[in-house]
Amino acid sequence: MRTLSLESIQVKVLEGKRISQEEALYLLEKADLSTLGLLADEVRKRFHKDDIVTFVIDRNVNYTNICVAGCKFCAFQRKVGSPEGYVLDINTILQKVKELVDWGGTTLLMQGGLNPDLPLSYYENLFRTIKAHFPHIQIHSLSAPEIVYLARIEKLSVEEVLKRLKDSGLDSIPGGGAEILSMEVRSFLSPGKCTVEEWELVHTTAHKLGMTSTATMMFGHIEKPQHIVEHLERVRRIQDQTGGFTAFIPWTFKKGNTQLDHLQEASPVYYLKVLALSRIYLDNFRNIQSSHVTQTMQVGMVGLHFGANDMGSVMIEENVISSTSYKVSIPKVEDMVQAIRAAGFIPAQRDTYYNIVRVFQ
């Protein structure tokens, strides 16, 4: 068995060679923050020599909070029959999309609970109506657990569900619902959601159908370092096979009104280490996002020196993280532009597919 060393792994990274799971775990557990940051920054520069950092203008419309999944980390969900449960009507959603378009937004993110009262036809009608009114809006909606749940209640395959949703106007799929892609973690954290294999099936099928998606990771709860590496390996392998992921987006668990409030939240230092490792390990991903929503804008800016080239979104609306005790601060476009400049980069607005819409000189 060969002996690992920080020096040998550094050489591999700087030479542009792929590191193994074993080497990734060594970096996460043994490397200091500054070393990880320097290595991740070198990898970022290979993909983004121009030092442009992007962001998107979007709106996160949570169309229902009724959910049967029962995830232990979620403060947003409400049980079937709860007086606090809701389903947004089509006119309310259209008004929200109009406000997004008027604001210069390009991306409509819609995610909700696993609501047994909403059939596939509800989503087909919803997407068709949105596209009829706003044909240029990019519908980046429905996470893998929602799609798997729809397939289950409709007794259809995942591919049949995705084909019908795509025909109705769905453009791409967010990576939500991944949490940690390890059943050892998932069976405790979110036993009511899709399995690791089902999450993978949704994304590989979407890619086969010509749709793009993002990959995400929500960490800083019960997982161990090896679970983080297991997650990164899975999404890297999928990307090798399909090339359909546009970006990787890691963020941390926030407590408050959850079943995991007894846990200690991940520190900004640990967040930056995992962010940097993600950039180093995911050598087939062009874009890595820094999370200002869960980390504050200050830490999000630092993340740009730890491998990230994207600052996520300027959102009109956010309801899920806001359901915890964490105070979410949503920046305006000018705030985002100023923050990216202050971090030493060139700000640019992008669309859902990471195409540049506007560069702020």
Q: Which residues are annotated as a binding site?
A: 67, 71, 73-74, 143, 179, 291, 313
Q: What is the 3-state secondary structure (H, E, C) of 322-353?
A: HHCCCCCCCCCHHHHHHHHHHCCCEEEEECCC
Amino acid at 107: T
Please give the backbone phi and psi of residue 343, each rounded to the nearest 5 degrees, phi first. Answer: -80, -5
DSSP 80: T
- Reported as type and span, the H/E element at residue 233 is helix 225-242
* Residues of each annotated binding site for (3R)-3-methyl-D-ornithine: 143, 291, 313
Question: From CA 182, how far away is CA 179, in angstroms rounded?
Answer: 9
3-state percent helix, strand, coil for the chain, nearest multiple of 5: 45, 15, 40
Contact 225, 193 (CB under 8 A): no
Contact 173, 135 (CB under 8 A): no
* Residues of each annotated binding site for [4Fe-4S] cluster: 67, 71, 74
* Residues of each annotated binding site for S-adenosyl-L-methionine: 73, 179
Residue with tokens 């993600």: 278
According to DSSP, the β-strands at 356-359 and 346-350 are antiparallel
Question: From CA 123, how far away is CA 142, in angstroms rounded?
Answer: 9
